[in-house]
Amino acid sequence: MSNQIKSGPTLAVIGAGLAGLRCAALLAEAGYAVSVFEKSRGTGGRLASSRLGDLTTDLGVPFIETRQASLQQWLSQHPDSAQCWQPSQTDFTLQAPRVDPARELWVGVPRSSVLTRLLSAGVTLHTETRVSVVWPDRQGVLLRDEHAEVLGHFDKVVIATPAPQAVPLLDALQSCQARAAAISLRPAWVLALALEQRPESLAQIDLIEGQHPEFKRILRESSKPGRAGEIWTLQASQEWSEAYLSLSGETVMHELVASWVALTGDPVKVLGYRAHRWLYCDVNSVETTQAVWDGDRAVGVCGDWLAGGGVDGAWQSGTALAQMILSS
Ligand SMILES: Cc1cc2nc3c(=O)[nH]c(=O)nc-3n(C[C@H](O)[C@H](O)[C@H](O)COP(=O)(O)OP(=O)(O)OC[C@H]3O[C@@H](n4cnc5c(N)ncnc54)[C@H](O)[C@@H]3O)c2cc1C
């Protein structure tokens, strides 16, 4: 946790994903004293990374492929933390792998969560703090945690969580609450595997994407810049993830490894694994309002679900909300 002492207006952001931290960074730059509350142990949200033995792996979005000029520019301004990954890629036929020079795939170095850490540099970050009440009163906007403890009063508050997690925080903004309640998100299982050695059949392949009943994407995490070891990440298809959502992580590991071996024909020796069930991976139906700002209640909302979904939606939404607050 960093302790910044600033004398500007106070602003709390709920959620340390890309949308919340983009908004937080712009407002901190503009002089706000920003506190960010995040229920998890670290920043990133769906750009999260995780330990796998002595190594780390990206468990959320595996790379950033953006059409947002401002995101592209921000990534290229931080060459120590963001670099382009040029994987040799193919589809699930495993035929004709090649580097596609037309695709620009950005990754955090040495893991994706460094990108959100970078955005959080000028804010006070409170991790492992789940906000459960957002309520404007005469002293400002009151925040309480899940134990009903007061977290403070703030001049302005930004809710930057996935839509289902925003619903209980939106009692003060009922029309937005109804919109958030109408959004559904697709789940995804992600399995990261530490292998003894690279499968021979995948000696020339770093990224597999396309149509497959079990998989959405398979990638060699270790081929990204700044990574070590022999780590592969398997993202299950939406259909498979929905059908097997309630399985244990261990069963998911056995099932997906068996499907992978059936695909490649190569047995693998797994040294360690991490299976993660994302209940909210990406949005099914999306709004295009960018962000919501209610100046009377001093509460705003941003997140991928308000701006077309995905990384670009999150970035765009966080940017739009900061601009709305600054011009209000
Ligand atoms: C496996 C996977 C693959 C993906 N692939 C792609 C892709 O190829 N392309 C693409 O564009 N996008 C992809 N995405 C989606 C992309 O990652 C998200 O759209 C984007 O990161 C969302 O950012 P966000 O800030 O809106 O939300 P989040 O990243 O979800 O951030 C919200 C944060 O709020 C926190 N939070 C929630 N409730 C509370 C509370 N009450 N109190 C405090 N904190 C709270 C959460 O812990 C989280 O950190 C993928 C996602 C996953 C998981």
* Ligand 1 centroid distance, CA of 283 (Å): 10
Q: Which domain holds residue 142?
A: 10-47+116-182+289-327
Q: Are residues 104 and 213 in the same domain?
A: yes
Helix axes of 69-76 and 310-327: crossing angle, nearest 10 degrees = 100
38 & 77 share domain: no
| Ligand 1 close to Cβ of residue 17 (< 6 A) | yes
Residues 78 and 197 in one domain: yes
Q: Mean pLDDT across the stretch 98-126?
A: 97
The number of the ligand 1 atom at minimal distance from the alpha carbon of 304 is 26
Q: Do 189 and 178 reside in the same domain of the chain?
A: no
Residue 5 pLDDT class (50, 70, 90 cuts): low
Is 56 inside a domain boundary? no
Percent of the chain with pLDDT over 70: 98
Count Cβ atoms within 10 A of the Cβ of residue 97 and give its class: 0-12 exposed, 13-18 middle, 19 or more buried: middle
The per-residue pLDDT for 1 is 42
Q: Which of 46, 215, 241, 279 to mutate to test the pocket of ligand 1 (most atoms within 8 A of CB)?
A: 46
Same domain, 177 and 188: no
Residues 252 and 152 in one domain: no
* pLDDT tens-digit series, residues 300-312: 999 999 999 999 9
Instruction: Tell me, using a 6 A CB cutoff, whether residue 165 lines ligand 1.
Output: yes
Give pLDDT tens digits for 238-290. Answer: 999 999 999 999 999 999 999 999 999 999 999 999 999 999 999 976 788 99
Mean pLDDT of the residues in the chain: 96
Q: What is the mean pLDDT of residues 3-7?
A: 55
In this structure, is the dihedral angle defined by the CA atoms of residues 139, 141, 142 and 143, taken in order, positive or negative? negative
pLDDT exceeds cutoff 50 at 86:
yes
SS3 84: strand
Place of tokens 């906007």: 141
Provide mean pLDDT across the span 215-220: 98
CB 17 within 8 A of CB 45: yes
From the CB of 314, is ligand 1 less than 6 Å away?
yes
How far away, in angstroms, is 201 Cα from ligand 1 center? Answer: 33
In this structure, the answer to whether residues 137 and 246 fall within a common structural domain is no
Residue 89 covered by a domain: yes
- CATH assignment of the domain containing 26: 3.50.50.60
Confidence at 6, pLDDT banded by 50, 70, 90: low
What is the CA(17)–ligand 1 centre distance, in A? 6
Same domain, 122 and 133: yes
My answer on whether 23 and 166 are in the same domain is yes
Residue 2 falls inside a structural domain: no
